[in-house]
Amino acid sequence: MGNEYTTHTEAMQARLLVIGSDSGGASYPITDPEFRIGRSRDNHVCLSDPSVAGAHCVIERRAGGFLIRDLAGGVGTLVNGTSVKEQVLADSDRITVGAVSLRFLAGDEAAGAAEGGTPAETWHAGDGSTLLRVSAMLHSFQAMYKGRCSSVRRVFEEHLLSLILDSIPASRGAILFYEDSLDEPSSVSVRDTEPCLRRPATIDRQIVNRVLREACVLLVAASEREPHGEGSASLALLAAPMVVRERTCGVIYLEGEGFSETHLEILAAVTDLASMAMENVYHQDWIDTERARLEPQLHPDHQMIGGSDRLRESQRNIARAAQANSTVLIMGETGTGKELVARAIHRNSVRAGQPFVAVNCAALAETLLESELFGHEKGAFTGAVTLKKGRLELAEGGTMFLDEIGEMPVSLQAKLLRVLQERQMERVGGTRPIPLDIRLIAATNRNLEEEVRAGRFRQDLYYRLNVVVLKTPALRERPTDVLPLAMHFAAKFSEQCGRRISGISREAQAYLMHYDWPGNIRELENAMERAVVLGGGDMIQLEDLPESIREIAKPAGVGGAFPLQDAVEEAKRQAVSRALAQANGDHGAAAELLGVHPHYLYRLMRHLGLR
Distances (CA, A) of 43 to 53, 175, 268: 11, 38, 26
- Please check the confidence at residue 358 and state whether its pLDDT lies above 70: yes
pLDDT value at residue 140: 54
Contact 125, 24 (CB under 8 A): yes
Which stretch of 185-189, 366-370, 430-434, 445-449 has the lowest confidence by average pLDDT?
185-189
Residue 448's pLDDT band (cuts 50, 70, 90):
very high
pLDDT value at residue 535: 83
**Mean pLDDT score of the chain:** 80
Residue 212's pLDDT band (cuts 50, 70, 90):
confident
pLDDT value at residue 139: 57
Share of the chain above pLDDT 90, in %: 24
- Please check the confidence at residue 7 and state whether its pLDDT lies above 50: no
- Please check the confidence at residue 273 and state whether its pLDDT lies above 70: yes
- Please check the confidence at residue 405 and state whether its pLDDT lies above 90: yes
Contact 132, 24 (CB under 8 A): no
Backbone angles phi, psi at 542, to 5 degrees: -60, -40
Residue 392's pLDDT band (cuts 50, 70, 90):
very high
Strand-pair partners of 572:
none
d(CA 502, CA 198): 82
Which stretch of 23-32, 102-111, 146-155, 214-223 has the lowest confidence by average pLDDT?
146-155
Residue 436's pLDDT band (cuts 50, 70, 90):
very high
Rounded mean pLDDT, 383-408: 89
Task: Indicate the DSSP class of residue 457.
Answer: S
pLDDT value at residue 126: 43
- Give CB contacts under 8 A, 24+ apart, made by 180-188: 182/212, 182/248, 187/150, 187/153, 187/154, 187/157
pLDDT value at residue 8: 37
Which stretch of 294-308, 331-345, 495-509, 569-583 has the lowest confidence by average pLDDT?
294-308
- Give CB contacts under 8 A, 24+ apart, made by 281-289: 281/141, 281/142, 281/145, 281/146, 281/148, 282/244, 282/245, 284/142, 284/146, 285/146, 285/147, 285/148, 288/146
pLDDT value at residue 561: 47
pLDDT value at residue 75: 65
The reply to whether the predicted model has a pTM over 0.75 is: no
Share of the chain above pLDDT 70, in %: 80
d(CA 110, CA 352): 68
pLDDT value at residue 117: 41
Interval 153-205: pLDDT, tens: 666 677 778 778 877 888 888 888 887 777 788 778 787 766 555 555 678 88
- Please check the confidence at residue 587 and state whether its pLDDT lies above 90: no
- Please check the confidence at residue 544 and state whether its pLDDT lies above 70: yes
Sorted by sequence, the CB contacts under 8 Å of residue 562 that are 6+ apart come out as: 507, 542
pLDDT value at residue 107: 66
Residue 564's pLDDT band (cuts 50, 70, 90):
low
Q: What is the 3-state secondary structure (H, E, C) of 160-214?
A: HHHHHHHHCCCCEEEEEECCCCCCCCCEEEEEECCCCCCCCCCCCHHHHHHHHHH
Cα 446 to the center of its chain, rounded Å = 36
Distances (CA, A) of 561 to 299, 514, 565, 572: 46, 18, 9, 18
Q: Is 37 exposed, middle or buried (0-12, 13-18, 19+ CB in 10 A)?
A: buried
pLDDT value at residue 454: 92
pLDDT value at residue 137: 58
Answer with the residue of higher pLDDT: 58 or 281: 58
- Please check the confidence at residue 130 and state whether its pLDDT lies above 60: no
- Please check the confidence at residue 404 and state whether its pLDDT lies above 80: yes
- Please check the confidence at residue 231 and state whether its pLDDT lies above 50: no
Contact 515, 549 (CB under 8 A): yes
Sorted by sequence, the CB contacts under 8 Å of residue 449 that are 6+ apart come out as: 462
Residue 367's pLDDT band (cuts 50, 70, 90):
confident
d(CA 450, CA 442): 17
